[in-house]
Amino acid sequence: MYRFLLSRQWVIVTLVALALIPTMIELGFWQLHRHERRVALNQVISDSLDADPVPAESLTSPGGSVADADLYRAVTARGRFDTEHEVVVRRRTNVDDKVGYHVLTPFVLDDGRVLLVNRGWVPADGAQTEFPDIPAPASGEITVTGRLMPDQTTADSGIKDLEGLPDRQVMLINSEQQAELLGRPVLGGYVELTSPRPEGGSPELISEPDHSGIGNHMAYAVQWWLFAAGVPVGWFVLVRRERRDREEAAAAEAEAETETEGTGETDETDKTDGAEQGGGDKESAPASV
């Protein structure tokens, strides 16, 4: 009764089921890895925020990159802001999800190297083609403190690095790009400023990252694995149902054939009886004179 499994329809259904099982298992492990990365990142952020500040140049160098273990690490630097080469980063939001700019200002160290400092967020009140009004930072030689961040890329951020932007506007914070524009050695990565705080609260400092949540990745992983386990169960249920339906259909067909045969025999019997009765009547009829 399972020969129907060799039909084209059931071969396709079976192949699809066989393909879905490993795919769903793999998706579950993908979500598990995302969960593990999120947990590890939260730990890195927590450790970095709790650590004492260190000089920025001890963790990064021109043309270098920021190590994963140093993400959000508090760093310090001594130098002065170069507002003449200040740029803004387009399409950035603040804590209230308002769209504006991040202010990226080169910070020239005592040895002449440059550290990129994200001084915070300002609103996009004017035209998108105009450079916004930005309060000036502290002048002269100062010490800044901030959170060390890696260079932004399209692959990591999902933000497309557009060309042909208005003057002094960029899409991504990238030390290599800024090094070409400045003609100076620029330390890899950048710093989100935490102090000194700007007078009047503008630019609005970047808030501390949330590292308390782990997301729903583990729940999604379990969900995918349950789906994978449900595929063979569902296939088995469909097969049993198909077999039952076919058995019921075959039984109904056999019953119909039996009834048809019975009806045919009854009709033949009636015809025979009628013929015999007709012959008897003829024999009993009186002969004509």
Over residues 247-258, the pLDDT tens digits come to 888 788 888 888
Q: Give the strand pairing for 114-123 and 190-195.
A: parallel
Give the DSSP letter of residue 60: -
Q: Give the pLDDT of residue 221.
A: 95
Q: Give the pLDDT of residue 136.
A: 94
Look up the pTM and report it. 0.71
Contact of 48 with 72, CB cutoff 8 Å? yes
* Average model confidence (pLDDT) across the chain: 88
Q: Give the pLDDT of residue 257.
A: 81
Q: How many whole angstroms separate alpha carbon 70 and alpha carbon 93?
A: 24
What residues of the chain score a pLDDT lower than 70?
Answer: 1, 262-289
